[in-house]
Structure 1
């Protein structure tokens, strides 16, 4: 009796298909290559930079309409002095002469530039840095978002953020915020507190002489007094009064009046 033919393939031929090609071996799981630590650090830094830019952009948009409740410098002074004096006053309740005096004192071309006064910067560089070149817009950015003191990182951030603020805020808004966060005496911030502190009047009732004296002490509020002005402050206030009248005559107050 014939033996049944064994059709099962158990030898080498079993590993070949009908076309004679070797059967594919099971694929090995792909090995996971560890990421280089340097790439992870770079990626983390990029995400941190994107997050910082996004945060700054959000704050610029926010404060274009919402009044900053406090600034980094106010926080540091409050920690040092235990308390500070600060009341927000809308632009409609600030004497127009105060706005003109601040512009005449700090940035006469405020309505003409886009945040950085390149002509003033070149003049300051030509004089070896002894002359200030910060615009009111730059000072507002520094006071609201950054820290005090002279350092290249802060100046770089200030220069980068100022055009963005100028693009989003109106000139009137920039000046309103500036007048409300500037320091006028030790622990006294904003014209809303400076006017009664020095003269016993509201910000809306400041005279041209009083406004000029307040503007004259802005560069050195701890070393100058508006109520008891030195000869220098009186001379400077006289110059500011003339400058305020000039920018009113030639229309350089159009952007904030």
Structure 2
């Protein structure tokens, strides 16, 4: 009791008292994530601690402190705690930019940014691409003025975001027959986030010591979804390799 209510919270910013193992999940579940965070901020201030299971999460909620901490002093805060078991399920290791930190993350980031710069992909070009997709989406919305629900608008927003990313990586938009690729990828991503978004998975993510006691079949859905995405991207890369023209430079992935 002393450990849970005093010692483990001693050197952290204030916040609601956590339950053993569950942390503040009961409070978040009772009010919903947005309202719960708003209530916590009003009671404990702009810097406070929320417990996800046995893992403390320090939240910074004012812009000046965020800029000072994560922009001006960004090198100090590039480390990020990763649950090894869930990372293994997601990516079979810590690779790339998203699931990494430290020196490996720095090298990947430096190399990626250099390739983008070599292709002239500075802020201006990225801004142009975002604006181009926004214009296309707005034109489509005007033409389809009989849109009946938010879901149809969200679908067009998703497609616009997907086009920006895919133009950056592979040099083409999702249109015509390529729309099938977008729908397949979106379905894979939705299934993946659904599988890892289950409450018991989230709870286990922040209590990593429990993973070693789990039978493998409980993670079958997670492995199935990540394998589906891996196969999709492997197919994309293989198709892209067949189309590469080494006499020209079309996109960063080809480079």
Q: Fold-level match, TM-score > 0.5?
A: no
- Larger helix share, 1 or 2: 2
Task: Indicate the structure whose relative CO is greater, using CA pairs within 8 Å and at least 6 residues apart.
Answer: 1
**Normalized against structure 2, the TM-score is what?**
0.28
User: What's the TM-score, normalizing by structure 1?
Assistant: 0.28
